[in-house]
A and B are shown apart, each in its own frame.
Chain A
Amino acid sequence: MTGPPDDDLDRLFAALPAEGPSGSDLRLRRRLHVERRRWWLALAAAGHITTLTLAVLLSAQVFAALTANGTLDILALAIAEPDLARGNLRSFSTAVGAGMPYRYSALLAADLAVLILTARMLLHATVLPAPQNGEGSG
């Protein structure tokens, strides 16, 4: 095996931290990282607020439809009298299925998925680099 002797390696590794970024470099990198993240945060916040508003509207649409066609009452009856619902499962399921606003429900489910995504983006956007190494995460 060839290479530098162990003493030389020890000296080399001991010298490494001294070649790392200086304090002002760290601060600059951190500042750049924050600048970049600020745009992500703005984008995620705008997306989150939009999806949150859509969640309100779609939820209102779903429940308005459920109330208007009486499906909410059927669900309430099934919850209040579970033995009746079990005994007439087919009647209950077809009645609920016939009155379910599928389009709005699907849109609400999709909106919830985007809501979770934007919430994760919001949290991720605020991740700052560790002060000791100055490396940004994206």
Chain B
Amino acid sequence: MSDRAFRLFEFIGRRRAATSWLLGVAAIVAIAGGAWFGTASSNPAEARTAQGDDSTRQLPATVAAGRRSLQGVIVQVRPRVILVRAEDGSVMRVAVDERTTIRRSGVTVPRDSLAGGMRVLVLGRTRDDGSMRAAVVAVRGSSPATAPAANRPP
């Protein structure tokens, strides 16, 4: 047993740099693997946003105080407010004013370019009335399942 350990020590001792690299790579693989597993196993209830659209019939929910971001699909566009169905299925009111930056494909676009069915990422601040005042609305694509029913007149 001692001889085997001795041989192992000599082996590692001769390949100290390689062993260091091996340990470093093992750490990186462990963290990256964990990150991949965590990302893959997390289900942000995205499927729900792509299902049938009856969300404009439901009353808008209030955005939790302290919340700074919101992701979902636009289900209705009003002059200064958009209704966004979040990934948990609730519909949130998002106030969009002239100070809101709206981005699509890397360029700033006007407010009236927002339409139902668009998947958006909203950054902003919750207000006392339970809506969110958007500082940034980033369009991340569209949700085909909701697009035809969305953008109805208020």
Please report A residues at the B interface, Cβ cutoff 8 Å. Answer: 30-31, 34-35, 37-38, 41, 48, 52-53, 55-68, 70-74, 77, 80-81, 84, 87-88, 90-92, 94-95, 97-99, 108, 112, 115, 119, 122-123, 126-128
Set B5, B20, B23, B101: member contacting A87, Cβ < 8 A: B101
Question: A126–B31 Cα gap in the complex (Å)?
Answer: 26
At the interface with chain A, which of B61-69, B89-97, B110-118? B61-69
In the complex, B149 has a CB within 8 A of chain A: no
Q: Are B135 and A59 in contact (CB under 8 A)?
A: no
Given contacts A77-B138, A88-B135, A128-B10, contact A64 B5 (CB under 8 A): no
Set A63, A77, A95, A122: member contacting B39, Cβ < 8 A: A63
A25 CB → nearest B CB, Å: 17
Interface residues of B in 2-17 (CB under 8 A from A): 2, 5-6, 8-10, 12-13, 16
Measured between beta carbons, the chain A residues less than 8 angstroms from B123 are 74, 88, 91-92, 95
Q: Are B37 and A60 in contact (CB under 8 A)?
A: yes
Set A30, A34, A81, A95: member contacting B68, Cβ < 8 A: A95
Please report B residues at the A interface, Cβ cutoff 8 Å. Answer: 1-2, 5-6, 8-10, 12-13, 16, 19-20, 23-24, 26-27, 30-39, 41-44, 66-71, 87, 101, 103, 106, 121, 123-125, 135-136, 138, 140
Q: Are A35 and B2 in contact (CB under 8 A)?
A: yes
Measured between beta carbons, the chain A residues less than 8 angstroms from B34 are 55-60, 62-63
Q: Are A63 and B69 in contact (CB under 8 A)?
A: no
Least CB separation from B66: chain A residue: A98
Q: Are A98 and B39 in contact (CB under 8 A)?
A: no
- A38-B2, A55-B34, A64-B38 are known contacts; what are 15 more A-B pairs with Cβ within 8 Å? A34-B2, A34-B5, A41-B5, A60-B35, A63-B42, A64-B41, A68-B43, A74-B69, A87-B101, A88-B101, A94-B125, A95-B123, A98-B68, A122-B19, A128-B6
Q: Are B42 and A64 in contact (CB under 8 A)?
A: yes
Question: A74–B135 Cα gap in the complex (Å)?
Answer: 13
Measured between beta carbons, the chain A residues less than 8 angstroms from B20 are 119, 123
Question: A70–B9 Cα gap in the complex (Å)?
Answer: 47
Q: Are A68 and B27 in contact (CB under 8 A)?
A: no
